[in-house]
Structure 1
Amino acid sequence: MSDGSSTEMVVAILRTEIARLAPGDRLPSSRELTTRHGVSPVTVSRAFAQLAAEGEVVTRPGSGTYVSPRRTHPAADTPDTSWQAVALAGREFDPGTQDGPPDPPPAGVIAMAGGYLHPSLRPDRALSAALARAARRPDAWDRAPAAGLAPLRAIFARTAGGAVGPEDVLVTGGGQGSLSMVFRALAAPGSPVLVESPTYPGALAAARAAGLRPVPVPMDGDGIRPDLLADAFAVTGARLLYCQPTFHNPTGTVLAPERRRQVVDVARAAGAFLVEDDFARHLGHGGPVPRALVADDRDGTVIQLTSLTKPASPSLRIAAVIARGPVMRRLQGMRRVDDFFIARPLQEAAVELVSTPAWDRHLRALSTRLRERCAVLAGALARELPDWTPARIPEGGLHLWVQLPSGLDDATVAEAARAHGVAVNPGTPSFPAEPPGAFLRLGFAAAEDPADLTEGARRLADAARACATA
């Protein structure tokens, strides 16, 4: 029998096999087919190649050959990407729940979800002026250094305080990108990462996307508990802790002064890194902002993430990682692999923005307006929903964290709230494991006007009554 006829025979046999199998089922191996039908391995390989070219099978090296998803005879000009379900099998990616800017709510829906400022709170005119000045620089379109522009690194170092110097700073493209890079740099897939419970949903998403396993460490009114943190390190063998010691998202908690040193010491004793997410340093409501953990750490235990995005604009994707020792060299190496450097015009614009008096004026005004909005929302909740007691009135940040009364489900209430014209965030995505109750995260910075927060609370009360009587 010629090679051609042998191949046609095996193709016909495999077509019959495919017809009785379901999409994703594994076909017999080359060795089985060779033995069963008395043909050569080359013949079997040619048969599989022909069927793969026709879209009937998908071959995964080292695993086998599988039946492709059934085609439904789409129109000739309609793409069919169903084959990707088989090709991506075994390469699962869990993006989790992000905390970026939500899609614009429909007209009439009050925005109390998401984690960014309403345009009326942003320094848009100062941003535009800074970008225009940056564009006029003769070297504006030159390649930027991989670690970031020296003046920008110096600005981040001064903000961190202590002994942090520009050489300890790596400029990055936004806080979320920093999280992703740091998680990939510090822990191998499958490793545990300790997190406060609750925590920032975007951190859980970044950890899981890196293949890490988030492990909850409980908090109380003073922040993460050092005693339980030590237990978690001992039980899990984790070498990584992610926390937000200043104006924690979502609760607004500030890690108590006596605990700040304890938490660093516990991490150091475990031989672990502590990732300090300092996203809210510029979002205080007028009171003192605690000193950053990284400012007093000289041994490289603390790696700080900080950003200009939250107090400025979602599109000012400028952040920084502060680290010391071999881990900084690793991060710089990852930068060269991932994206080489951050666009110079954006870095130049950031330098122009934060180096002018307009930036300080903006931060002072933003502090006042956030404090006022927080008070408006807290007062409206007290009137409209007196049994929805916030865990605390935060001294910084963009949210109130509210526990719902027994019998209410956060996802159900959030869905009902949207139906009543107000968008809020359910609390469950903030927990790395089972939540201890039902919570909502209510933002006071994304609404157009403080009066909208009062109306939003009223609509929430209507939604809660609808859920209670459903």
Structure 2
Amino acid sequence: MYNSSSDRIVSALRERIAAASAGAQLPSTRQLVAEFEASPVTVQKALRTLIGQGVIESRPGVGTFVRAIRTARPNDYGWQTAALGSPQHRIPDSSSALRTTPNDVIALHSGYPDKELLPERLVRAAFTRAARSEAVVSRPPTAGLPELQSWFASELGTITPAGVTSPVASDVVVLPGSQSGLSTLFRTLVGAGRPLLIESPSYWGAMLAAAQVGVQLIPIPSGPRGPNPDDLDRAFAQTGARAFYAQPNFTNPTGGQWSAELGDTVLGIVREHGAFLIEDDWAHDFGITANSVPLAAREDSGHVVYLRSLTKSVSPSVRVAGLVARGPARDRILADTGAQAMYVSAALQAVALDVVTQPAWHTHLRSVRQQLKSRRDMLVTALREYAPSTHLEAVPHGGLNLWLRLPDETNLHQLTRDCEAQGVIIAAGDDWFPAEPAGRYLRLNYSGPNPGAFANAGRIIGEALDAQQPSQRPVVNQPTASAPS
């Protein structure tokens, strides 16, 4: 099954190329148009695909030819081993959540929402307007466009309770995505070799950033209702840590949300130990049956450093995030971001600001809320019907994921392989633990493409799990041989 006419032509030409000799000339575009009954644009697209794959080459004014395949020559890069030495901090491999997959599979592994959940019309229009503006040829301030700084500050200020000073534009630093922000925060607020408290399980990208900086992670057990404050208090006292990384709203991966009481207790513990709470509000725009209420809106003494990304809710191509910090910490963060990236593209900042200040932005978010609810419920229903051995401790009130506990004897690697063989891509939960996994888990993204296939995905996951369970058939006692007379 081909996804397009171009794919059909690519497949047919690859078979012809495999049987041809190096340097053989392909038919002209006009001949291919007639042969495949396709438009010239479609044929040219297929030829560009084959050129990109390195199997043919175009000679302007002459034609298109089968590329000569050169015999691969092994290269000796051993000298680099001595030049580089051993890495000071071993960087973990990228999570399975970043895998790209074919279009014909059921993808439940990704950490990004499907294109249908993005404000595509707003984004395209914003890029068009930005292309005609000074943003494409100007260098913005290191801290970000003042208008975008003001927007991030006002978003947090609208939910600031009485008695707490609202953030101002000068408290905001605009970043090229939250991942770079985490690296900056861990480098400036924690430092290499020093301890950082982190919920367990937690966002794998935070663990990647910590490894890159050389930060020592101290896991704090956490679940759908958040961490135990006593565990947090004890860890601060025992380790001398000066920061705690957390996601109070719609945690990745569990989907959990802290209660207001827990948030106040955690803030009290952080203040008592003279520490920072690094609050990652990655899912601010993905509330379903609850809204994100950041702890940063209830604290103005500088103990909370707040991070909010627009990449997932606006577009993966708009890597823009806002960081709110106060006091000397903000100065140190700004110095680090300036040293790392100097500034964030003015064009991307202009696009982000354009999208989130359109009246249609809030209409879009209301639509996303309804779509996420429908998708979440469809996947929950499918799993309860077809994979009853999975355990969902709580249906999340927001975010993009379900966090499933599996039977302890489950072979996760075998499960992922078996599901992939049946066309379902899933993410094993091990990537989200900063230390040894506390059990067998799956993180399933319900915001991916093709939600109509969720029932089939649940069936495949259930069958793959059942195949690993011991047989339930009763054991038949065989008669024993009679003793010789």
TM score, norm. by length of structure 2: 0.78
Match of 2:199, SS state, is strand
Q: Please list the CA deviations of residues 342-399 of structure 1 after superposition, one character each: whole Å capped at 9, or x if unmatched.
A: 0001101111111112211211111110110000000000000112121211010000
State the 1:139 CA deviation.
Answer: 4.6
Structural mapping, 1:266-281, within 5 Å: 266-281=269-284
State the 1:76 CA deviation.
Answer: 10
State the 1:457 CA deviation.
Answer: 0.9
Aligned CA distance change for structure 1 residues 396 and 77 (closer, same or farther; 3 Å)? same
State the 1:301 CA deviation.
Answer: 0.6
Q: Which amino acid aligns with 2:146?
A: A
Aligned CA distance change for structure 1 residues 119 and 76 (closer, same or farther; 3 Å)? closer
Query: Structure 2 CA distance, aligned partners of 1:95 and 1:457?
Result: 34
* Contact 1:117–1:313 under 8 Å retained in 2: no
Which residue number corresponds to residue 12 of structure 1? none
Query: Structure 2 CA distance, aligned partners of 1:367 and 1:178?
Result: 27
* Contact 2:173–2:324 under 8 Å retained in 1: yes
Match of 2:469, SS state, is helix
Match of 1:312, SS state, is coil
Match among 329, 352, 355 for residue 353 of structure 1:
355
Which residue number corresponds to residue 341 of structure 1? 343
Unaligned runs of 5+ in 1: 1-74
* Contact 2:283–2:399 under 8 Å retained in 1: yes
Aligned CA distance change for structure 1 residues 349 and 329 (closer, same or farther; 3 Å)? same
Aligned CA distance change for structure 1 residues 177 and 100 (closer, same or farther; 3 Å)? farther
Match of 2:444, SS state, is strand
Q: Which amino acid aligns with 2:170?
A: E
The alignment yields a C-alpha RMSD, in angstroms, of: 1.9
Match of 1:128, SS state, is helix
State the 1:468 CA deviation.
Answer: 3.2
Larger mean Cα displacement after TM superposition, 454-463 or 341-350: 454-463
Q: Which amino acid aligns with 1:338?
A: Q
Which residue number corresponds to residue 115 of structure 1? 111
TM score, norm. by length of structure 1: 0.80
* Contact 2:419–2:464 under 8 Å retained in 1: yes
* Matching of residue 206 in structure 1 with residue 232 in structure 2: no
State the 1:116 CA deviation.
Answer: 0.4
State the 1:189 CA deviation.
Answer: 1.1
Query: Structure 1 CA distance, aligned partners of 2:77 and 2:307?
Result: 38
State the 1:222 CA deviation.
Answer: 2.0
Aligned CA distance change for structure 1 residues 345 and 220 (closer, same or farther; 3 Å)? closer
Which residue number corresponds to residue 237 of structure 1? 240
Q: Please list the CA deviations of residues 48-69 of structure 1 after superposition, one character each: whole Å capped at 9, or x if unmatched.
A: xxxxxxxxxxxxxxxxxxxxxx
Which residue number corresponds to residue 363 of structure 1? 365
Larger mean Cα displacement after TM superposition, 112-121 or 87-96: 87-96
* Matching of residue 129 in structure 1 with residue 125 in structure 2: yes
* Contact 1:140–1:348 under 8 Å retained in 2: no
Query: Structure 2 CA distance, aligned partners of 1:92 and 1:411?
Result: 29
Match of 1:83, SS state, is helix
Match among 257, 262, 277 for residue 259 of structure 1:
262
Query: Structure 2 CA distance, aligned partners of 1:420 and 1:302?
Result: 45
Query: Structure 1 CA distance, aligned partners of 2:378 and 2:224?
Result: 23
Count of aligned residue pairs for this structure pair: 395
Q: Which amino acid aligns with 2:272?
A: A
Match among 98, 102, 105 for residue 106 of structure 1:
102
* Contact 2:249–2:258 under 8 Å retained in 1: yes
* Contact 1:389–1:403 under 8 Å retained in 2: yes
* Contact 2:96–2:427 under 8 Å retained in 1: no
Larger mean Cα displacement after TM superposition, 207-216 or 136-145: 136-145
Query: Structure 2 CA distance, aligned partners of 1:154 and 1:77?
Result: 56
State the 1:321 CA deviation.
Answer: 1.1
Match of 2:399, SS state, is coil
State the 1:99 CA deviation.
Answer: 5.0
* Contact 1:309–1:315 under 8 Å retained in 2: yes
* Matching of residue 154 in structure 1 with residue 156 in structure 2: no
Structural mapping, 1:254-333, within 5 Å: 254-285=257-288, 287-333=289-335
Query: Structure 2 CA distance, aligned partners of 1:312 and 1:100?
Result: 23
Aligned CA distance change for structure 1 residues 98 and 275 (closer, same or farther; 3 Å)? farther
